[in-house]
Structure 1
Amino acid sequence: MDQGFPGQHTTTTTVTTTTTTTQPNIRFDPSYIRTLPGILKVVQITLNLIGFICITCSYVSNTSSRGGWFNTVAMGGFWFTGIVLVLYLFHIVEKFSRIPWLKIEFVFCSIWTVFYLLAASLAADHTKYSEAFGVAAFFGFCAMIAYGYDAWLKFNAARSGALAQGQHTPKQVSTVTSPAY
């Protein structure tokens, strides 16, 4: 018998499986607002609304196509983000977990980042006619950053295979096999 090899040995096989846990019932859960994605959505909604109000209160808002474009971007972001926030608050996203929510939000946030870059830049260039456009441009650039950061988070989450709502639970099963002597 070889001195370097033991007379007995143990083989351990470990299999890891992942279980997706979602609850299909619709329920109100205000704790979502305290998460980073929830906080980002509230910030985005607020910035959209403030920018919209600034442009609307300007005395040149009715004569400026730049103001119209800014308000279109602001209200589009306000309504989409608001609806998605409600879907998360009531766990409707979790109920329909087969829909690629993270990819949808990634595409929307990416597009809105570019839209806000354009809208805020155009509003900033229009400050010679109205100071309200300058204030709106500031909030527009802030919204651009919020949507850009959210797009980056959604991209990373989708790439890693995360769920929009619900959880993956890893489960390990170990099997020990010993030879019979």
Structure 2
Amino acid sequence: MDYGTRPQRISCQYGYISTIPGILKAIEFICDAAALILGAVAPTITFTGHKGFFTFVAALAIIITTILFLLALINIQAVCIPDRWLVIEMSWCALIALLFFIASIVVASVAKYNGVYGAAAFFGFAAFITYVADAINRFRLLRAGPRSRHTETYTSNTTTTTTNVTRQQPTF
């Protein structure tokens, strides 16, 4: 039986965690969480808008990144809209990278008043770099063409499952 012709199903893909997009999502989550915590606990200086915008960007990033990670983990992207999923994630990464860049510059400008702002700016810039790397990876996969972007290999300790969305007729 040719398993490459089976339709995609919603199932838990534990192997996604060890792929490049999965690792990038984990790093994004860690940077987002650290930025959110540091931005929220920073003392309020007379510039309250700096802290508020940075906290908003970090909270938005952690929520949407967690949702996208869970959707990829249960293989929703391969079932619902596989042709547009890379564009959606690439656009999200580019948008949140831009917002993190702006918010980190704003917070870094008040870092001279308190070191917590400096640490928050550091994790904001780290999140910015990670989101840019993720957007570049998505762009690279998008440019590689439909065959390579629909074929993903997830490896676990016991089995290897290759998922091929493109439908090919079996040869006899």
Short-chain TM bin: 0.7 to 0.9
Whether the 8 Å CA contact 2:8–2:78 is kept in 1: the answer is yes
* Separation in structure 1 between the aligned mates of residue 78 and residue 69 of structure 2, nearest angstrom: 13
- TM-score between both structures, scaled by the size of structure 1: 0.76
2:151 aligned with 1:167: no
Taking a change above 3 Å as real, the CA distance of residues 173 and 121 of structure 1, as seen in their structure-2 partners, is same
More strand by share: 1
> Residues 173 and 57 of structure 1: is their aligned pair in 2 closer, same or farther, counting only changes over 3 Å?
closer
Match of 2:100 among 116, 137, 160: 116
Match of 1:36 in 2: 20
Which amino acid is 1:147 matched to?
A: Y
Normalised TM-score (structure 2) = 0.80
* Mapped partners of 1:97, 1:22: distance in 2: 17
CA shift for structure 1 position 107: 0.9
Q: Which runs of 5+ in 1 are unaligned?
A: 1-19, 175-181
Structure 2 counterpart of 1:35, one-letter code: T
User: Residue 76 of structure 1: CA displacement?
Assistant: 1.1
CA distance in 2, matches of 1:86, 1:57: 28
Aligned CA RMSD, in angstroms, stands at: 2.6
Partner of 2:32: 48
Q: Where do 5+ consecutive residues of structure 2 fail to align? A: 153-162
Letter in 2 for 1:87: L
> Could you say which residue in structure 1 is the equivalent of 2:156?
none
1:147 paired to 2:131 = yes
Identify the residue that residue 72 of structure 2 maps to in structure 1.
88
Percent identity for Structure 1 against Structure 2: 30
Choose 1 or 2 for highest CA Rg. Answer: 1
- Report 1:12-31 matches (<5 A): 23-31=7-15
2:9 aligned with 1:60: no
Q: Report which stretch shifted further, 84-93 or 21-30.
A: 21-30
Instruction: Report which of the two has the higher share of helix.
Output: 2
CA distance, structure 2, for counterparts of residue 79 and residue 60 of structure 1: 24
Give the C-alpha shift of residue 112 in structure 1: 1.3
